[in-house]
Structure formats: structure tokens, C-alpha cells
Structure 1
Amino acid sequence: MFKGSIVALITPMDEKGKICKQSLKKLILYHIKNKTNAIVSVGTTGESSTLSKKEHINLVMRTIDLSEGKIPIIAGTGSNSTSESISMTQKFENSGISACLSVTPYYNRPTQKGLYLHFKEISKNTNLPQILYNVPIRTGCNLHIDTIAKLSKYKNIIGIKEASGDLSKVQKIINSVKNKYFLVISGDDETALDFIKLGGHGVISVTANIAAKEMYEMCTLALKKDFIRAEIINSYLNPLHKNLFLEPNPIPIKWASKILGLINYSTIRLPLTNLSKKNKILLKKIINNFLCIKNN
């Protein structure tokens, strides 16, 4: 169900910083039209860290409603508190959500035993499918392969978004996990194609916010092992992959989405700030080059 190009959806906001419902609908229709395989609602790219709990829940529920069952919705539900993660996950029971994406607890830096028990408790307290999310650069802790293998034994822990940047982990995870249906998904656009070549199942993508069709096509070809054509598409996506992280995500992707007309405003909440003038110039050039290639 969750193979291919999965977008880490931005959260569109109006000029006052409130969630822009009109832009949200536009984004969802854009991804349905361009065959994105699934949407992650309120993950890191969706600014989960600056939304209130009420906003978080309402945004996921609105995304489910607007999608009208035409695309799977994955809710970001992770926290550095186990009880909070369980509570957030349970809010989406019987909601129509397809799965939850649960990040490793950040800031408090638990041991591997703590990480195992954290995800075990979440799994025990919900029937919803759970996707683990390992992103050490943001959380300060790294989910080890043996811990992933132990957690994969729980029937509703169905996969992992692996964003450690260590491609050597892909095959090691696949070899360590006994469940052949366990999903191993990239969390890094720049190495996503190599990740799939090594046996991965797709990518939870920032780039897909503005290049949905191309990311879908690249991932689809790669999963079919048509790597030559996948490489061609990826070659002109690569400048986007790199330059959409000129400043902390989601600053660049929100600005890029605005200039492409996908959202009405590029508003972002503090402590993140708007894209700097010099990086606007650089990113605009990269986007224009991409559009020239795309339209020729």
C-alpha cells in the first residue's frame, strides 16, 4: 500500500499563520491528479512541532475528508512522550486514516531499550498500522537494526522511514527483519533512487510537494527495476533535492510551493523564518531550470 512516492505534505497557512483550507484542498487535488502514492499529514515537513494538538488533529481529519478516499493518508503521531504518542494515535482510530508515522522520541535521547518499549507500548494500544521514523539528525537518537528487527515482530508495525543517511542500513534492515512485507522507506530525496536500488520500497518525499508527477514516475520505474529511465528523471530532480534544503525544511519548500501557485502564502511559524533573499534568487533559478527541462 505504501510503496513509491509518498509526499511529506507541507501545511499551508494564510498571512496570519492560520491553516489555509483553500490551499490544503488545492494541494490534495494536485497529488491525486499526479498519482502520488500517499500523503503524510503533519509530519516534520508539515510543521508538527509548531501546531497545537487541536490544530494537528483537525488538520489530519480535514486532509482525510478532502482526499475523499482517493489517496491514502498517513498521520504524523510521534512525540518524545510515550503517553502523548499513544493519545495522539488513538485520536485517529476509526477515522479513515491508513497508518501513523511515529518518530523516535526527540530531545530526551532514550536508550535502545527505551526506544523498543516506547514503540511497543504504542503498538499495544492501537490497531492502526505504525511506520517507525528514524531521523537521528533531528532527534539525537538512532534506531539500531536489532531494535528495528525486534519491533517488526509486532503485526501492526509495518515499516520504517529510514532517514539516517546511511545507505548501508537498507540491506541490513531487510536481512534482519523476518517479515517479508515490512516496508523500508527512504526519508531522503537525494539518495532515494539508490535506496530503492538496494531493496527499499519508496520515499517519503519533500521534493514531491512541487514535482509530484516526476517523483511518482521515478519511483515507479525504479520499483520496476527500470533504473536507466529512473536515472534520467532523477538527474533533473537532483538540483531540487539538494536546494530544497538550503535552509531548514520546510522553509524552502513552502516558498517554492508559493511561487509555483500551489499555495496562496509561504507563511511559516516561528522559530522558523521566511527564506532569505539570496536563497530565493538561487532557488528560483533552480526551479526555472527544472521547469524548462520538464516542459521540453
Structure 2
Amino acid sequence: MSAPPPPGFYVPAVLFFNEHEELDFPSIKAHILRLAQGGVTGVLIQGSNGEAQLLSREERKETISFARKTLNENGFNNVLVIAGTGAQSTRETKQLCTDAKDAGATYALVLTPSTFPPQMSPDNIIRFHREVADASPIPTMIYNFPTVTAGLDLDSDTIATLAEHPNIVGTKLSCGNIGKTHRLTSRFPSSQFAVYPGRSDAYLHGLLAGSAGTIAALVNVVPKLHARVYQLFKEGKTDEAMAIQAKLGHGDWAISKIGGIGGIKAIVSKNFGYGQPFVRGPLKAVDPNSLQSNKFYGVIEELVTLENEI
């Protein structure tokens, strides 16, 4: 059987573009290095925050390769690269898994197709993920994110069935369901099948329920705070960890209200000195100059202040 990713905290990294919606590689490099310096266990390239579905096949390969090269050239060989390989056909998903391996990714995160929701019965979902895992040259993980899959929400029985496959090694649960997380962690050790809540507001709660950590958007903004929670958890200092966790929970809510992917880019651009807030249409950009007037931004400012103090 293939081995899952190690426990820790991972970042579904945003990609930066210029005003022409072309990839801004200097800003992408600056972002990857800040995240690595913040202690992330790994970088997810082309999760939903990476605008995967808005990139060409060549761009997907190029950004994975660029991330791996950036990490290696700067002494972060131990930071994993996971590649999002979701597509709407089984055939293309298999191709993207092969591309990910060739570009230097260690794992593939596979989103369930959602163009035809009525066709995606539990049996068909299981068949899709098994066929992809059979063909993938790197271990695969199940990406459950109902918000971007037309409401398709894999239950714990479906994921547990898939967990028996020798090349399916984990799941990212962006549904944020702690009950689902616990049902899976109580059936499978993290050394066999790693369960990662996909939200910072379920981070410590997931760890207490036996999860392997998190793969969460807010890590784009405050990686060191996530590292601190993980360290406090390992030291058994649950009360201290929970105090930071409460702030992360408010931060998760705030970035969703500020503008999701566009909001994250605006926050990073405003606070860390690189990147512009451009997104690819039909997504909507957020003007960094508008942040101060957003009632949710004060929560983010507090988190950034704490991040800079670490």
C-alpha cells in the first residue's frame, strides 16, 4: 500500500496573476517561500484556492513544477507538493495525475466530477476514484468540497470504502464535518489513511478527533499561527491551543466574507509586500484599499499582528 502524507498543516496556495490574468511567477515564488518559512508541512498547488479549473493543462503542469523547483532551490526539499488533479472526466483526471507526477508532485488531490450531479451516485463516485487511483503514478487523496461540486457531499461510508484502495491514502474534508472526520479517524490510523479537515475553524477540533492536521485556506495568511497551534497540541497544551484556535475560527469566517480567493490575495498583497489581487474571471477581485472599510477585516488585522509577533 502507498503511504499517506505525514501529519501537519498544509496550505492550498493561491496563485498570483498580473492585470492580464497571466501567471505572476515572482509573486508566486515570494508566496511559496513565505509559507515554507512559516513552517508548512506541504503546499497544495491547484486546490480550489489555486483556481485550478481556470488554468490550462500546461499552466497546471508549469505551476506544480515551479513550486517544486522553488522549494528545492531554497532548501525546502522536505516540504511536500500536493497537486490538485480534479477534472470533469475520468480520462482527463488520469492525465492530470500523470502530469502532476512528471512535474514533481508527491500526491494528487482528486475532486469528484460535478457537471452531471444526478449521475454521480455513490457507486459511480466510488468507481471514478478507484479508476483514477488505479491509473495514477502517485498516491491519490479524496477531495470533498460540496461548495465547488454542485453540492455533492461524500459521506463517511463512501470515503471509508475508498480508503481500502491501496493507492488512496487520505482525504481533505472541506465540508468541515467533525463527525465525519471522527468516524474516519476511528476506523483508519493516519499511517494508513490521513484525514485532513479543509478549514481552519475545524483545525484543533480535528486534531483532538484524531485527524492528521489540516489543509486550509487561512494558512495562506497566517502559517506561523497554524504552526503554533500544532506545536501546542503536540505538547498537550490544549487550552493555549484552543485560545489561538478561536481566533482562527473567526478568521476563517472573515475571509469567506471578505471575498474568498480574491479576498485572500488582497489581504496578502496589503500585508506582506508582494502580489496583486487579480483573479481569473468569472471570479471577482477584491481591492486591497477597500479592506479597511470591511467590518470583517479587523479580525484579519489581529491575526496578522499575532503572526508577525511570532
TM-score, normalising length: structure 2: 0.88
The CA deviation string for residues 85-115 of structure 1, in whole angstroms up to 9 with x for no partner, is 0011111234431101111112322000111
1:192 aligns with 2:203: yes
Instruction: Please state how far the C-alpha of 1:291 moved relative to its aligned partner.
Output: 3.7
In structure 1, the partner of 2:300 is 287
Identity of aligned pairs, percent?
22
1:17 aligns with 2:24: no
In structure 1, the partner of 2:144 is 134
1:28 aligns with 2:28: no
Distance (Å, rounded) in 2 between the aligned partners of 1:62 and 1:180: 29
In structure 2, the partner of 1:243 is 254
- In structure 2, what residue type is equivalent to 1:267? F
Select which of 92, 100, 103 maps to 1:84: 92
Distance (Å, rounded) in 1 between the aligned partners of 2:187 and 2:282: 39
Larger fraction in helix: 2
Which ranges of structure 1 fall in alignment gaps of 5 or more residues?
Answer: none
Q: After the TM superposition, which segments of 4 or more aligned residues of structure 1 sit over 3 Å from their partners?
A: 175-180, 276-280, 291-296
The CA deviation string for residues 108-146 of structure 1, in whole angstroms up to 9 with x for no partner, is 220001110001101111230111111112212121222
In structure 1, the partner of 2:214 is 203
In structure 2, the partner of 1:41 is 45
Instruction: Please state how far the C-alpha of 1:262 moved relative to its aligned partner.
Output: 4.9
Distance (Å, rounded) in 2 between the aligned partners of 1:179 and 1:32: 23
In structure 2, the partner of 1:146 is 157
Distance (Å, rounded) in 1 between the aligned partners of 2:234 and 2:17: 35
- In structure 1, what residue type is equivalent to 2:23? I
The number of equivalent residue pairs is: 296
Distance (Å, rounded) in 2 between the aligned partners of 1:246 and 1:165: 17
CA distance 1:42–1:6, shift in 2 (3 Å): same
In structure 2, the partner of 1:115 is 125
1:218 aligns with 2:226: no
The root-mean-square deviation of aligned C-alpha atoms, in Å, is 2.1
1:3 aligns with 2:14: no
Q: What's the secondary structure of 1:91's corresponding residue?
A: helix
CA distance 1:293–1:29, shift in 2 (3 Å): closer
Distance (Å, rounded) in 1 between the aligned partners of 2:292 and 2:90: 39
CA distance 1:34–1:197, shift in 2 (3 Å): same
Distance (Å, rounded) in 2 between the aligned partners of 1:291 and 1:176: 37
Distance (Å, rounded) in 2 between the aligned partners of 1:250 and 1:6: 17
- 8 Å contact from structure 1 (residues 2, 38) kept in 2: no
- 8 Å contact from structure 1 (residues 86, 125) kept in 2: yes
TM-score, normalising length: structure 1: 0.92
1:253 aligns with 2:264: yes
